[in-house]
Every structure is written in C-alpha cells, then in structure tokens.
Chain A
C-alpha cells in the first residue's frame, strides 16, 4: 500500500498570507496526485488533479506542484473561506488501492 504523509498536521495562517502544504508518497506516484478541501460538516471537494491542474471552478490562488514522491499545495492569499482541512490522494495504482493523506488543517492565526 502506498502511504501518503502530509505535513504539517495544522497550519496557522493569517488571512491574506500564503499557505504551503506538503504531501509525500512512500513510493513514486508519478503525477497521479489529487488535492481535496473539506470544510466542517461537508463532503470533500476536488481542488487539484494531475498534481497541478485545477479542477473546474477552483480559484487561481490554489496551485499544485510536484511529481514522484513530493507534492505541494499552495494557497497564494488565504481567504476566509479557505480555512478547512486539505487531503492529498494518490491514484497511481491499479487495481485501485487509492490512499489519502491524514490531512492538514488550515486554521486562522
């Protein structure tokens, strides 16, 4: 099983500041990496797929980078609605044994 590790567990950021979230895979997943945002009481929402492609309707302040085992999600200027938990997910393996990171909570500083 590919283990996904996210850091930090919690990130305290002021509105308007940049947030950088990391995700590391236990083995290469190429660019088969997605990021999701989850707010309390809501379902996750797809933000980024293919490591760097924004999903439909996702603001340009969200960007993804990386390949292989190291990935980054950057939120360039945090808005109030961006405070949430973010998960990475690998989808490199077949048959599907898709795995998620444990999440990074972005909270207001």
Chain B
C-alpha cells in the first residue's frame, strides 16, 4: 500500500524557517517524481514544487522561488521542503504527492503551517 506521511508543520513567525518532511513507503520511491502542493485555509489547491526521480531536476512556483528548496533522499525514501523567509500568505496545509505522468496519484494527509506573529 502506498503511503505518504508528512511531518514538520507548526506555527512559525513571519521571516522564519521550517523544514517539512514526507516519508514514503509501499512503492519504489526512487522511480517516481514527487511534488508539493499547498492549500490555504478554505481555499483551493496550489502547486508549489516538483523534483525528478533522481533529484537532479527541480522546479518551483513563482510564489516560492528563491525561498523554498525541495530535495529528496532516495536511500531513505524521504522528500523534504525547506521553507525560508516565510510570509503570512504561505499559511497552508502542505501536501506531498507522488507524480505519475503529470498526475498526482497518491497524496499524504498534509501538514499545517501557520505563519503568524
């Protein structure tokens, strides 16, 4: 059974940093692209970042470019999102998801990141 479990969320002050993790199991992690998607409270879904199966290729939404860094450790079946210079508008539930041909076929349960003083 495919499982994705996010962790690392929590209250952070504006300008602060946070690192999210996503533990993957039930599939060959190193064979799949991965992505992060976020959802602000009561709002829709926003794609945040993408990483190739090898980790060599990474892309970001304009809204987080230069502040967020996606990475993966295929030996540990783990995906991460380092978030710096956080803003109030980054407040959201952050989901990691597996990518198959551009679709997000499995999602984690999400982790909430409130950015507030």
Q: Which residues of A contact B (CB under 8 A)?
A: 32, 34, 36, 42-46, 49, 55, 87, 89, 91-92, 95-103
In Å, the complex CA distance between A43 and B101 comes to 20
Q: How many A-B residue pairs have CB under 8 A?
A: 57
Tell me the complex Cα distance, A87–B37, Å. Answer: 13
Residues A99 and B47 in contact in the complex (CB < 8 Å), given A43-B109, A43-B110:
yes
Question: CA–CA, A101 to B46, complex, Å?
Answer: 9
Main secondary structure, interface of A, reads: loop
> Given the complex, which residues of B lie within 8 Å of A102, measured CB to CB?
44
A55 shortest CB reach to chain B, Å: 7
A97 touching B47 in the complex, CB below 8 Å, given contacts A43-B95, A91-B103: yes
Quick check: is B41 within 8 A (CB to CB) of the other chain? no
B32 within 8 A of A: no
Which residues does chain A contribute within 8 Å of B95, judged by CB atoms?
43-44
Q: Is residue B104 contacting chain A, with contact meaning CB distance below 8 A?
A: yes
By the criterion CB–CB under 8 Å, are B105 and A98 in contact? no
- Do residues A45 and B44 form an inter-chain contact, with CB atoms below 8 A? no
**Is B45 in contact with A87, judged by CB distance below 8 angstroms?**
yes
Q: Which residues from A are CB-within-8-Å of B108?
A: 43
CB pair B107 A43 closer than 8 Å: yes
**Contact (Cβ within 8 A) B45 A44:** yes
Interface residues in B21-42 by Cβ distance below 8 A to A read: 35
Q: Cα distance A99–B48 when bound, in Å?
A: 10
Which of A46, A97, A99, A101 is close to B104, meaning CB atoms less than 8 Å apart? A46
Q: Which residue of B lies closest to A46 (CB)?
A: B105
